[in-house]
Amino acid sequence: MAHLMRMAELSAQSGVPVASIKLYLREGVLPPGERTSPNQALYGETHVRRLRLIRALREVGDVPLAAIKTIVGALDAQTGSTHEILGMVQQAITAPVDDSAKDEVVEKMVDEIIAEQGWFTHRNPARDMVVAALSRVIELGGDPAQYRELLSAYARAAEIAARADIAGIAQELESDTIVEEAVTWTVLGDTVLSGLRRIAQENGSAKLFRPEVSE
């Protein structure tokens, strides 16, 4: 028989404060428990798992609650393919970009890089995110030609990272939680990759500017 628990134990097991659990219940990101009275309910392991997912998305991925609501809604509905659900997640976690922040030269450059990589992209908001960020760099005096070379290198690195992501997801095809795991890594993988990049930058900087370190 599955173990059921009251909210205090649910809080202890998940590491999420009771006040936050109540908020998630009100917002619909956490499914209701099994009612035992008008003011009491029991919760199971699925609730613990959902709270751990929400906590990871909030604390590590810095994902807004509104986006989390979209994400868990897609997980609960299970109406699309894994590819479609991941696309919905990308839409949810990518902030909209002000068109005034986009430079036409940069847009052309980004589209050329996407074409060179042979990437299939269907209205991916990440494209506008890249354009807006690079446009700001150019606005501050960056040389577009210089950043085109850098962007091309980033695209090649992104292809390697994305292939590893998808290969990892493919290994879990028989898992009941494949979609949840894929969603989690889609969000938290950004943080992991960013952290590894910073470590690599420190290493590269040390070798270039402090050659004695590598001796």
pLDDT in tens, 36-80: 998 899 999 999 999 999 999 998 888 999 999 988 888 888 777
Q: With 90 as the cut, is the pLDDT of residue 18 above it?
A: yes
* In a shared domain, residues 50 and 153: no
* In a shared domain, residues 32 and 68: yes
Report the percent of the chain where pLDDT is more than 70: 95
- Kindly compute the dihedral angle of the four CA atoms of residues 166, 172, 176, 179, in this order, to the nearest 10 degrees: -10
**Residue 1 domain flag:** no
**Residue 192 domain flag:** yes
Q: With 90 as the cut, is the pLDDT of residue 214 above it?
A: no
Half-sphere exposure of 173 (CA within 13 A, CB side): 6
* In a shared domain, residues 121 and 182: yes
**Residue 85 domain flag:** no
State the pLDDT confidence band at 88, using cuts at 50, 70 and 90. Answer: confident
Identify the residue whose tokens are 């008008």: 38
Predicted pLDDT of residue 81: 79
* In a shared domain, residues 110 and 73: no
Indicate the number of domains in the chain: 2
Average pLDDT, the chain: 88
The residue type found at 65 is L
Nearest Cα neighbor of 187 from 106, 114, 118, 89 is: 89
pTM of this prediction? 0.79
Instruction: Examine the fold and report which residue of 20, 47, 77 is the final residue of a domain before the chain moves on.
Output: 77
Instruction: Examine the fold and report which residue of 77, 110, 137 is the final residue of a domain before the chain moves on.
Output: 77
Lowest mean pLDDT, pick from 5-9, 48-52, 135-139, 198-202: 135-139
* In a shared domain, residues 118 and 192: yes
**Residue 154 domain flag:** yes
Burial of 174 (0-12, 13-18, 19+ CB in 10 A): exposed
**Residue 90 domain flag:** no
Structural domain for 164, as ranges: 99-214
Predicted pLDDT of residue 1: 59
- Residue 39 sits in a domain of what CATH number? 1.10.1660.10
